[in-house]
Amino acid sequence: MEHLLVNRVYVVVVNWNGWRDTLECLESLRALSYSPLSVIVCDNGSTDDSLHRLRDWVDDHDIDCAEYSAAEAECGGIAGLDPWLVLVRNGANLGFAGGNNVALRYALSRDDFSYAWLLNNDTVVDPDALAHLVRRMEEQPSIGMCGSTIRYYEDRDKVQALGGGHYCRFVGLPWHYGRFWGGRTERGRAERWMNYVEGASLMVSRRFLKEVGLMSEDYFLYFEEADWAERAKGRFELGFAPRSLVYHKVGRSIGTSSNPRRKSYTCDFYNVRNRILFTRRYYPYALPTVYLVLVGGLLLRILLGRFDHAAMVLRLILGRAKR
């Protein structure tokens, strides 16, 4: 692809006990057609030997790399050092937003970039994916957040999301655009319908970060991108780059599943907890209907024999959750 854009991009990947997926993601990033870029991998206190595996990969492939603690990274690392890969030891599981924010503080401290591209570690990207994201944001500078065409890794004809989706405030649930009707990629329609960008592939501008701020760390998992978009309302628009293709393995590390029989406790807890938190924060008038939907979900969990999940939902509804 012809290089028409010269804006520097930081690509941010958070790893937590998922070094195999992270390495596959990094291999795809090495094939990107876009330049200049730097990749930041923040390890969220992994216990599966991820740091050693990542260091071995760096050595085996002779990758230009710098390694920092979270505190060192947030101060911008070593001045004048500009490696292709920055490996950051966060030291603990800071959650999705917390892990990404360490990398974003590194970028903001260096102040030498135009965009930051947040990628899930369980993704593989098309070589031109980044170039198309930057091109879309350059076409319309009012765009502060931009998404990709996200397809399922194991079924690449199937769409997970076209850019992002629509959060329905009265049920407290997001609906990914394009998920149920295939691969139609009309950009204008998607951008009109979206009120958040799917976080598996999310580009933000430097100006967005400086004016809106970093991701909220109140959620730990889920709803961070919806919160970010909510805070940006009236200042920035949401964009979609249809030809930016990203393939997502979907919830490898925490047991994400749309099937309530297979959803992990962690996934279920944060989904329910954060529906309440987000609604209370931005749409408190919708709390009665959100609670009604949650009661229905509680009964479904009982019918499925998932009594621990049902008890957790009840505690959250009553405001008694300890986690």
The pTM is what? Answer: 0.92
3-state helix/strand/coil string of the chain: CCCCCCCCEEEEEEECCCHHHHHHHHHHHHCCCCCCEEEEEEECCCCCCHHHHHHHHHHHCCCCEEEEEHHHHHCCCCCCCCCCEEEEECCCCCHHHHHHHHHHHHHHHHCCCCEEEEEECCEEECCCHHHHHHHHHHHCCCEEEEEEEEEECCEEEEEEEECEEEEECCCCEEEECCCCCCCCCCHHHHHHHCCEECCCEEEEEHHHHHHHCCCCCCCCCCCHHHHHHHHHCCCCEEEEEEEEEEEECCCCCCCCCCCCCCCCHHHHHHHHHHHHHHHHHHCHHHHHHHHHHHHHHHHHHHHCCCHHHHHHHHHHHCCCCCC
Q: Output the tens digit of pLDDT for each of the chain's 323 residues.
A: 333 346 999 999 999 999 999 999 999 999 999 999 999 999 999 999 999 999 999 999 999 999 999 999 999 999 999 999 999 999 999 999 999 999 999 999 999 999 999 999 999 999 999 999 999 999 999 999 999 999 999 999 999 999 999 999 999 998 888 776 655 667 888 899 899 999 999 999 999 999 999 999 999 999 999 999 999 999 999 999 999 999 999 865 555 555 677 788 999 999 999 999 999 999 999 999 999 999 999 999 999 999 999 999 999 999 876 55
